[in-house]
Structures are given as structure tokens and as C-alpha cells.
Amino acid sequence: MRFDYVWLRDHCLSASCYNSKTHQRSLDTASVDLCIQPKTIRLDETTLFFTWPDGHVTRYDLDWLVKNSYEGQKQKVIQPRILWNAEIYQQAQVPSVDFQSFLETKEGLKNFLQNFLLYGIAFVENVPPTQEHTEKLAERISLIRETIYGRMWYFTSDFSRGDTAYTKLALDRHTDTTYFQEPCGIQVFHCLKHEGTGGRTLLVDGFYAAEQVLQKAPEEFELLSKVPLKHEYIENVGECHNHMIGVGPVLNIYPWNKELYMIRYNNYDRAVINTVPYDVVHRWYTAHRTLTIELRKPENEFWVKLKPGRVLFIDNWRVLHGRESFTGYRQLCGCYLTRDDVLNTARLLGLQA
């Protein structure tokens, strides 16, 4: 491990540099001499001691340094996950959580969140089929993210909004709100009613598909993680006038350990590509095709029929959803959740998130 002296001074945990009650830094980093060097360095079994030119002493537990060094972070995954295709997911027999235990027990909530974090999808069963109960569920794990679609949304195929979701047409796999600067983290679906045929929901683990691309064509994976794209939502239907724009690559990875944390994939909402130079455009289409082929492999498709009482939570940064066309009257309610607050709940229950 290599440490910079300014870094070592900056992270000092002494009472005058760090408030351990608020977990906030008190030291003014800008007051540290950028050429600072310790006067003395001493090491015992567990601790490293620095005495700085002004006499201030900084001590570091060696364990703390191991945990927080740049080299340490490179080895560590932020979010442990189980990547899946249909067979892996079905074999895993991931249990659904019961409405009652989800709402009333810590265990139920924790099991649910653990599965959600590992697989990017999770179900709650025996939920009374109303918008109010769906809202209660959502509020148990997070804050509802209000958007142009409302807080809780409730939709049928009435084309009340200018989007294909509000029709009976099939929707190919996609993630939602790719046209936001920060796409919604979680999506909740509860089908309250369907009198008709079709309308099954399609789920595909985008991270599994991306992993296949990384294995087979690493340079294409890299291109998909570097080239920023624009997605756009333009609506002029009835009273609804909206124009949203979001820019970012299809694959978003942490720069220090290359871990994938978000996929933005929506071919319907992808806007004109005009920020990519001529010599890159064709390579980007090739890479996008490779990813699409993976996403469309039938063995990667997990199909479910949503029914009243069964609420589905989808990690919209990871798992793509779609739907089969349908006939008849179909009512879906749900909402988006703020990602930070789901992760907050998970961490408070002792989960790695």
C-alpha cells in the first residue's frame, strides 16, 4: 500500500481533526501544506504514529489503513450480486416475502432486501390489491420518488400519457427514465386487474448480459461504458407537456474497480446520436448489437404474469423489464423509489449495500 502524506494528514482521526459524534471532518484540508512530511514515524504491533512538523500526532490502526487504501478498494466490490439467466434464477428458488412479515418484522424486511440486492428483483405476496397497500409497501423500504408520472401511478391502456406504456402494445426489454440525469433507482409494479389475455412481464438481468459482453468482447464493453448517449422524453398529449433529457453511457462503471453499477438501455427513448465522432459511431453500433444479442437470448428471459396480490420490485439500474401485448382491461399501479433510501434501509439492517 502506498499513502500520500497529505492524505495521511487529511484523514487524521484525532479529536481536533475529526468529530466522532457527527462523523464529520473538522480539519480544514486547505490549511494542510501540500508539501507536508512527518517529523517522525513510529510503528508498533497495531498502530502507525505520525508526528507532524507542528507537533500534532496522528495515529492509524493498521487494519483501518488496509480497509481504506486505494489498493484495498480495488479488490472490494461495492455490491455483491448473483448474476442470473432464467435457469439460474429459477433454480435459486428465491423465496417471496409475505406482506405481513414484510411490514411487521425486521426479518421479513431484511430477507426481502437481501434478495433484492443479490438478484435485482424481489416479490412480496398476499398484498391487498389496492394502491394504498402498494404505497404502504413502498414506504416501508424507501421514499417514493415523485416524477412527471406522479407519486403513485395508476395506469391502463388509455393513452392518457404520450408513451407506449399507456397502450396494449408489447414493450421490448428496457430500463425506465433513461432520460433523467439520474434514472429512477427502483420500480414497483402491482397489477390490480387484468381481464384478458397476454400481458406477461419480461425480466432480464442486464448485468448478466453485460458480463457476457465483457468476457467475449472487452473492447466493446469498454466502448459502451465510455460513449455518452442522450435519451429523451418529449410529450405533448392533453395537458401533459414535458421535455426531459438525460445523458450518460449505456454501461456505467466505477472508475477505481471497474464494477458495473448502472445500465441505461431503452431503444425507444434513445435520442439522436450527435455527440459521437464519425469514426466511433459504427463501432458503438457494433457494441450495442453485441449487448442486444445477449439481452435477447431466450435463455436470459424470465417471464412472469403479474397478478393482484403479488408486488414486484425491480432494480431499474440493473434489471430490464418489458411486457407482452395484451387484450382486455389491465390496471397497473406502482411507483419509483429513491435508490439512496433503499440502500439506507438495507445498511441499517446490517446488509452490504
Binding site for ligand M3L (CB under 6 A): 149, 153, 155, 163, 165, 174, 176-177, 266, 268-269
212 binds ligand AKG (CB under 6 A): no
Interface residue with Fe ion, options 135, 176, 220, 315 (CB under 5 A) = 176
Beta bridge partners, 327, equal: none
Task: Centre a 10 Å sphere on the Cβ of residue 54 and count the other Cβ atoms it contains.
Answer: 8
C-alpha distances in angstroms, 68 versus 101, 167, 330?
37, 51, 51
Q: How far is the CB of 104 from ligand AKG (least distance, A)?
A: 29
38 versus 162: smaller Cβ distance to ligand M3L? 162
Interface residue with ligand AKG, options 32, 88, 165, 273 (CB under 6 A) = 165
195 versus 279: smaller Cβ distance to ligand AKG? 195
Phi, psi of 272, deg, nearest 5: -55, 135
Q: How far apart are CA 145 and CA 335, in angstroms?
A: 7
8 Cα distance to chain centroid: 32
Candidate ranges 75-83, 176-184, 200-208, 309-317; the one touching Fe ion (CB under 5 A): 176-184
Candidate ranges 171-179, 214-222, 300-308, 335-343; the one touching Fe ion (CB under 5 A): 171-179
220 binds ligand AKG (CB under 6 A): no
Q: How far apart are CA 242 and CA 235, in angstroms?
A: 5
Question: Which residue has cell 457527527?
Answer: 22
Task: Centre a 10 Å sphere on the Cβ of residue 156 and count the other Cβ atoms it contains.
Answer: 15
Closest CA to 329 of 193, 153, 201, 200: 193
Interface residue with ligand AKG, options 52, 58, 124, 176 (CB under 6 A) = 176
Beta bridge partners, 203, equal: 302, 321
Q: How far is the CB of 262 from ligand M3L (least distance, A)?
A: 14
Q: How far is the CB of 7 from ligand M3L (least distance, A)?
A: 41
205 binds Fe ion (CB under 5 A): no
Beta bridge partners, 186, equal: 315, 337
Q: How far apart are CA 155 and CA 321, in angstroms?
A: 17
Residue 201 site contact among Fe ion, ligand AKG, ligand M3L, none (CB < 5 to 8 Å, cut-off depends on kind): ligand AKG
Q: How far is the CB of 2 from Fe ion (least distance, A)?
A: 46
Instruction: Tell me if residue 75 falls in helix, strand or coil.
Output: helix
Interface residue with ligand AKG, options 145, 318, 321, 339 (CB under 6 A) = 321
Residue 323 site contact among ligand AKG, Fe ion, ligand M3L, none (CB < 5 to 8 Å, cut-off depends on kind): ligand AKG
What's the chain's Rg over C-alpha atoms?
Answer: 24
81 versus 321: smaller Cβ distance to ligand M3L? 321
